[in-house]
A and B are shown apart, each in its own frame.
Chain A
Amino acid sequence: MTELFLAELRRSWIQLLRYSTEAIAGIVITTVVFYGLFLSAQYMAGPNLQFGERLDSVIIGYVLWTLALFIMTDIAGNLQREAQTGTLEQLFISPYSATQVFLTRAIASLSIQLTLLAGILGTIMLLTGSRLSFPLAVLPAFITVLLGAYGLAFAMGSLSLLLKQVQQLLGIFQFALLFLLAVPSESWTGSLKLLALLLPMAPGAGLLRQVMAQGQPLQPIPLLLAMVNGALYLTFGLVMFRLAERETKRRGKLGGY
């Protein structure tokens, strides 16, 4: 598995660097969209208003949304592209299972996504003057978000295997993601609090905002709940993917798009 992971790491980085214009365009567009929104908000609020920690919270939500979008489109988009270019079936005649191959791929391409994300985050902080902190406590909360994102990405990949064309679905889904990651669900009360615990990635995103924007320490119980949330969504995604693979092979539609 280590050999496969390193091979996937090399493959994704080589392709990224060889066609780096696409990556740079991605960073620029994502940053410009946020800066446009930021300038609009500033115009409405007037020049003297300081956004302070609220701006920081919004940035975290936006950046997480960007990462979740990258991850989501990575697996489903990859499946679709590889089916069109004819390499998909080659991946399925490997002694490694398809789940192993795609999970390894997803983890390998995380290094790319994190690099792009660092570029986006750095530029946004520079443009808006935000001062986010990055304590080590951020890491476990961040992992819970990643687990949930990969779970959803595999679920979306399953739909891609079964339905083939998922661009429209991905388009709609990105707004749902924005809601999940940007809405401050950690401040919800009563029965909504329970709902916030069940929503994918929302508990982890809330923890990140508390730690990075509001400077609060990481609480073990909310972290545990966020971890369980992430693990459950990842398991759900992987199980869906295995079932979708079997069903697609039964229908004889693995390579066709």
Chain B
Amino acid sequence: MQILEAQTLKKSYPVEGQAVLAVRDVSLNIAAGEVLAFLGPNGAGKTTTIKMIAGLILPDAGWVRIAGRNPHQDAKALRSLGAVLEGNRNLYWRLTAAENLEYFGVLRGLSRRVARQRGQTLLERFELTEKRKTVVQALSRGMQQKLAIAVALIHDPQLLLLDEPTLGLDVEATQTVKTLVREIAAEGRAILLTTHQLDIAEELSDRVAIINQGKIVAEEPTAELIRQFSGTAYTVELEAELDGDRLQKIEAVGAVVQAHTVIVRDPALLYHVLDILKPLPLVKVEKDRANLTDIFLTLTQAHPGLPPDLND
């Protein structure tokens, strides 16, 4: 079931008297339980797209539906949307964790009683119960971010927009947020995630959409995209250097030897090479695998970004 449908979104901004297209015909769909990593360099149009989805920026053309409703025309669509935008600044710093949850719960259409109950459950789940009476400005960056995510979930939305949820967090807090994102998606929510930490995107996402110069340049399931960009060669790492006889045999079949490493470009030769190496101790046998960072750079460097002063 598709929770988010965004079709051919377009947005231009005036720059020095001329209209510059910041987003060009961007279409995105996210199903229930799916995490879409929405990646792109600064100024590529990520934030503009997210804000058009959230109803905060009016598109010049195209449409958005959240659980079947258009957030630009039907305020009920916003009941199905939770968002953590731009880091941790989504909370009232002078209110406590519990007060923020209660206030935003009511703002999202819940009764005070329900907002309190859900707030309590979320505080427990996010391990913030002890901090429920602490004002937000006294919480650590990681706790503020967890609370911002809890606040975005207070009304049980079907779609969650997370803009750079791990930005500025330490290793432990990043791990916690990653675990939470996985759990939230497993509950059947659709998640749109933007991040510059591509290893996190690779780890968390089911699908990846890469935007550059306002256009989607790739949209694939994460595993499929990585497979497409991965090579077919194998690397065999040995504990010790090869003796002369084995070295000759291996080079004769066309593999390349570099110190403790043997690179087999033709996968059909792998077992033949392993037979030659037998019974030498191996450290690992690994197939060439592209990572999201390589793919991202390949796809975005082909088309340099927009001027940095343009609104993201």
Contacts and interface: CB of A to CB of B under 8 A. Distances in A.
A14 B95 contact: yes
Interface string B3-23: 000000001010000000000
Most buried by B among A14, A86, A87: A86
Contact of B103 (A11, A18, A251, A255): A11
A252 B99 CA distance: 30
B17 to A, nearest CB: 15
Contact of A93 (B54, B86, B111): B54
Contacts of B81: 93
A90 B56 contact: no
A29 interface: no
Contacts of A19: 94
A: interface residue count bin: 20 to 34
B253 to A, nearest CB: 60
A15 interface: yes
Interface string A68-90: 00000000000000000111011
A10 B112 CA distance: 11
B303 interface: no
B221 interface: no
Interface residues of B, number: 39
Interface in B65-105: 71, 75-76, 78-79, 81, 83, 85-87, 89-95, 99, 102-104
A92 interface: yes
A94 interface: yes
B55 to A, nearest CB: 6
A11 B75 contact: no
A6 B56 contact: no
A89 to B, nearest CB: 6
A89 B56 contact: yes
B83 A3 contact: no
B107 A7 contact: yes
Interface stretch (A95-103, A111-119, A139-147): A95-103
A252 B90 contact: no
Contact of B106 (A7, A251, A256): A7
A254 B57 contact: yes
A246 interface: yes
A3 B112 contact: yes
Contacts of A3: 106, 110-112
A246 B73 CA distance: 12
A15 B76 CA distance: 30
Contact of B95 (A11, A86, A93, A254): A11
A86 B103 contact: no
A93 B135 CA distance: 23
Interface string A1-36: 001101100110011001100000000000000000
B55 A92 contact: yes
Given A3-B112, A86-B85, A254-B57, A91 B107 contact: yes
Nearest to B12: A252
Nearest to B135: A18
Interface of B: 11, 13, 48, 51, 54-58, 71, 75-76, 78-79, 81, 83, 85-87, 89-95, 99, 102-104, 106-112, 135, 311
Interface of A: 3-4, 6-7, 10-11, 14-15, 18-19, 85-87, 89-97, 101, 246, 249-252, 254-256
Given A11-B95, A252-B13, A252-B311, 5 more contacts: A7-B112, A89-B51, A90-B107, A254-B57, A255-B85
23 contacts: A3-B112, A6-B112, A7-B103, A11-B103, A14-B94, A14-B95, A15-B94, A85-B89, A86-B85, A86-B90, A87-B89, A90-B85, A91-B107, A93-B54, A93-B56, A93-B78, A94-B108, A95-B78, A95-B79, A96-B75, A249-B56, A249-B57, A252-B58
